[in-house]
Chains A and B, each alone.
Chain A
Amino acid sequence: MSQTDFPLLTWVTFFPLLGTVILLFLNKEKKETIRWVTLIVTLLEFAFSLPLFFQFRVDIPTMQFMEKAAWIPDYGMSYLLGIDGISLFLVLLTTFFTFVSVIACWKDIQEKVKEFMICLLFLETGMIGVFVALDLFLFYVFWEVMLIPMYFLIGIWGNPQRRIYAAVKFFIYTMVGSVLMLVAILVLYFHNAAATGTYTFDLLQLYKLQVPINVQFWLFLAFGLAFAIKVPMFPFHTWLPDAHTEAPTVGSVLLAAVLLKMGTYGFLRFSIPLFPNASYQLVPLVSILAIIGIIYGALVCLVQKDLKRLIAFSSVSHLGFVMLGLFALNLQGIEGGILQMLNHGFSTGALFLLVGMIYERRHTRMIEDFGGLWKQMPVFGAFFIVVTLSSIGLPGLNGFVGELLILIGTFKSTPVYAVIAATGIILAAAYMLWMYQRVMFGELTKAENKVLKDLSAREVLILSCVTLFIFWIGIYPQTFLSRIEPTVKGYLTQVNTKYQAGLKLQEGDKIRIAQVESKR
Chain B
Amino acid sequence: MNVVIPEINWTAIGPELTLSITAMVLLLLSVVSKQTTRGVIPYLSLVGIGVALLLCFSLWGKPEYAFNRMVVNDNYSLFFKIIFLITTALTVLMSIRYLKEEGFDHGEYYVLVLFAAVGMMFMASAADLIIIFLGLETFSLSLYVLAGFFRTNPKSNEASLKYFLLGAFSTGFLLYGIALIYGATGTTNLKGIYEFVRKIPSLPDPLLLIGMGLLIVGFGFKVASVPFHMWTPDVYEGAPTSITAFMSVGPKAAGFAAFLRVFLYALSSLQTDWVWILWVLAVLTMTLGNIVAIAQKNIKRMLAYSSIAHAGYILVAMVAAGELGTASVLYYILAYAFMNLGAFGVIILYGRKGEENVNLSDYSGMASKYPLLAAVMAIFMFSLAGIPPTAGFVGKFYIFSAAVKAGYIGLAIIGVLNSALSVFFYLRVTVMMYMRNPEKELARLDPSPAMVIALIIAVFGTLQIGITPSHYLNLAKQSILALM
Give the interface of A toward B (CB within 8 A).
71-75, 115, 137, 140-141, 144-145, 147-148, 151-152, 155-156, 163-164, 167-168, 171-172, 175-176, 179-180, 182-183, 186-187, 189-190
**CB pair A186 B412 closer than 8 Å:** yes
Query: Contact partner of B412 among A137, A145, A168, A183, CB < 8 A?
Result: A183
B336 at the interface (CB under 8 A from A): no
* Nearest chain B CB to A225 CB, angstrom units: 12
Whether the pair A145, B474 counts as a contact (CB closer than 8 A) is no
**Residues of chain B lying within 8 A (CB to CB) of residue A152:** 434
Taking CB atoms, residues of chain A closer than 8 Å to B57 are none
Stretch from B169-177, B198-206, B386-394 at the A interface:
B386-394
Is B416 a contact of A183 with CB atoms below 8 Å?
yes
Query: Is the Cβ of A179 less than 8 Å from the Cβ of B435?
Result: no
For residue B469, CB closer than 8 A to chain A, the reply is yes
In the complex, A133 Cα to B417 Cα: how many Å? Answer: 25
- Chain A, residue nearest B471 (CB): A72
Q: Which residues of A have CB within 8 Å of B397?
A: 137, 182
Contact at A141–B389, with CB atoms within 8 Å?
yes
Contact B474 A187 (CB under 8 A): no
- Contact of A148 with B387 in the complex, beta carbons under 8 Å: yes
Rounded to whole angstroms, the CA-CA distance of A73 and B468 in the bound complex is 11
> What's the Cα separation between A164 and B473 when bound, in Å?
37
Q: How far is the CA of A58 from the CA of B400 in the complex (A)?
A: 41
Contact B420 A175 (CB under 8 A): yes
A164-B400 in contact given A74-B473, A148-B387, A179-B416 (Cβ < 8 Å): no
A168-B388 Cα distance, complex, nearest whole Å: 18
Bound CA–CA A140/B400 (angstroms): 14
Interface residue stretch chosen among B80-88, B423-431, B451-459: B423-431
Interface-facing stretch out of B142-150, B345-353, B401-409: B401-409
Known contacts A175-B423, A182-B416, A186-B404; is-contact A144 B434 (Cβ 8 Å): no
Would you mind naming 21 contact pairs between A and B with Cβ atoms under 8 Å apart? Answer: A72-B469, A74-B470, A75-B473, A115-B371, A141-B388, A144-B387, A144-B388, A155-B431, A156-B435, A163-B435, A164-B431, A164-B435, A168-B424, A168-B431, A171-B423, A172-B420, A179-B419, A183-B413, A186-B404, A187-B409, A190-B405
Interface check B110, CB cutoff 8 A: no
A139 to chain B, nearest CB (A): 11
Give the CA-CA distance A167 to B289 in the complex, in Å.
24
Q: Is B380 an interface residue (CB 8 A)?
A: no
Q: How far is the CA of A171 from the CA of B436 in the complex (A)?
A: 18
Residues of A within 8 A of B477 (CB): 74
Contact A180 B404 (CB under 8 A): no
Across-interface contacts of A115 in B (CB, < 8 A): 371
B76 within 8 A of partner (CB) = no
Nearest 7 A-B pairs (CB), nearest first?
A179-B416, A186-B404, A141-B388, A72-B470, A175-B420, A155-B435, A176-B420
Given A167-B435, A168-B424, A190-B404, decide whether A179 and B388 contact each other with a Cβ distance below 8 A. Answer: no
Which single member of B405, B420, B428, B470 contacts A71 (CB below 8 Å)? B470
Which listed residue, B387, B388, B401, touches A189 by the CB 8 Å rule? B401
List 7 other contacts, CB 8 Å, given A164-B435, A179-B419, A186-B400: A141-B389, A167-B435, A180-B416, A182-B397, A183-B409, A186-B401, A190-B401
**Residues of chain A lying within 8 A (CB to CB) of residue B474:** 74
| B109: interface (CB < 8 Å) | no
CA distance A137 to B413 in the complex (A): 18
Least Cβ distance of A235 to chain B in Å? 19
Chain B CB within 10 Å, residue with most, of A137, A141, A187: A141
Q: How far is the CA of A147 from the CA of B388 in the complex (A)?
A: 10
Closest residue to B406 on the A side, CB-wise? A190
| A180 CA to B434 CA, complexed, in Å | 29
CA distance A179 to B382 in the complex (A): 15
Q: Which of B387, B400, B404, B419 meets A145, CB within 8 Å? A: B387
Q: For residue A2, give the distance in angstroms from its CB to the closest CB of chain B.
A: 33
Q: Which residues of chain B are within 8 angstroms of A189 by Cβ–Cβ distance? A: 401
Q: Give the complex CA separation of A163 and B428 in angstroms.
A: 13
* CB contact under 8 A between A140 and B473, given known A175-B423, A176-B420, A186-B412: no
Q: Given contacts A72-B469, A172-B420, A182-B416, are A148 and B382 in contact (CB under 8 A)? A: yes
Residues of A within 8 Å of B434, CB to CB, are 152, 155-156
Residues of chain A contacted by B388 (CB below 8 angstroms):
140-141, 144-145
On chain B, the residues within 8 Å of A137 by CB distance are 397
Q: Please tell me if the beta carbons of A145 and B423 are within 8 angstroms of each other in the complex.
A: no
Tell me which of B389, B404, B431, B469 has the highest count of chain A C-beta atoms within 10 A of its own C-beta. Answer: B404
Residues of B within 8 A of A155 (CB): 431, 434-435
Name the A residues within 8 Å of B371 (CB-CB): 115
Whether A147 touches B387, Cβ cut-off 8 Å, given contacts A72-B469, A164-B431, A167-B435, is: yes
A144 and B417 contact, CB distance less than 8 A: no
Cα distance, A409 to B387, chains bound together (Å): 39
B160 vs chain A, min Cβ distance (A) = 37
Q: Select which of B400, B409, B428, B431 is within 8 A of A182 by beta carbon.
A: B400
Tell me, in angstroms, the Cα distance from A361 to B382 when the chains sit together. 37
Looking at B393, B413, B420, the one whose CB has the most chain A CB atoms below 10 A away is B420
Q: Which residue of A lies closest to B407 (CB)?
A: A190
| B436 neighbours in A (Cβ, 8 Å) | 164
C-alpha spacing A73/B417, complex, angstroms = 28
Contact between B404 and A187, CB atoms less than 8 A apart: yes
CB distance from B158 to the nearest CB of A (A): 34
- CB of B119 to closest CB in A, whole Å: 34
A60–B404 Cα gap in the complex (Å)? 37
Given contacts A145-B387, A168-B424, A171-B423, contact A183 B473 (CB under 8 A): no
Closest to B437 in A: A160
Chain B contacts of A190 at CB under 8 A?
Answer: 401, 404-405
In the complex, residue of chain A having the shortest beta-carbon distance to the beta carbon of B413: A183
How far, in angstroms, from A75 to B389 measured CA to CA in the complex? 17
Nearest-neighbor residue (CB-CB) of A152 within chain B: B434
Q: By CB atoms of chain B within 10 A, which of A71, A75, A175, A189 has the most?
A: A175
> Which residue of A is nearest B417, CB measured?
A179
- What separation, in Å, do the CA atoms of A167 and B424 have in the docked complex? 11
Contacts of A175 in B (CB 8 A): 420, 423
Q: Which residue of B lies closest to A179 (CB)?
A: B416
- The residues in B between 273 and 291 inclusive whose CB is less than 8 angstroms from any CB of A are none
A176 lies within 8 A of B417 (CB): yes
Q: How far is the CA of A164 from the CA of B382 in the complex (A)?
A: 17
A168 touches B420 (CB 8 A): no
> A141–B396 Cα gap in the complex (Å)?
13
B371 (CB) vs chain A CBs: closest residue = A115
What A residues does B427 contact at CB under 8 A? Answer: 151, 168, 171-172
Alpha-carbon gap, A483 to B470, bound state (A):
38
The docked-state distance in angstroms from the alpha carbon of A163 to that of B424 is 15
Contacts of B473 in A (CB 8 A): 72, 74-75
* Complex alpha-carbon distance, A148 and B412, angstroms: 24
**B419 cross-chain contacts in A, Cβ below 8 A:** 179
What's the Cα separation between A171 and B404 when bound, in Å?
Answer: 25
Instruction: Look across to chain B and name the residue whose beta carbon is closest to the beta carbon of A189.
Output: B401
A141 to B391, CA, bound (A): 12
- Specify which chain B residues have a CB less than 8 angstroms from the CB of A187 in the assembled complex: 404, 409
Measured between alpha carbons, how far is A214 from B404 in the docked complex, in Å?
17
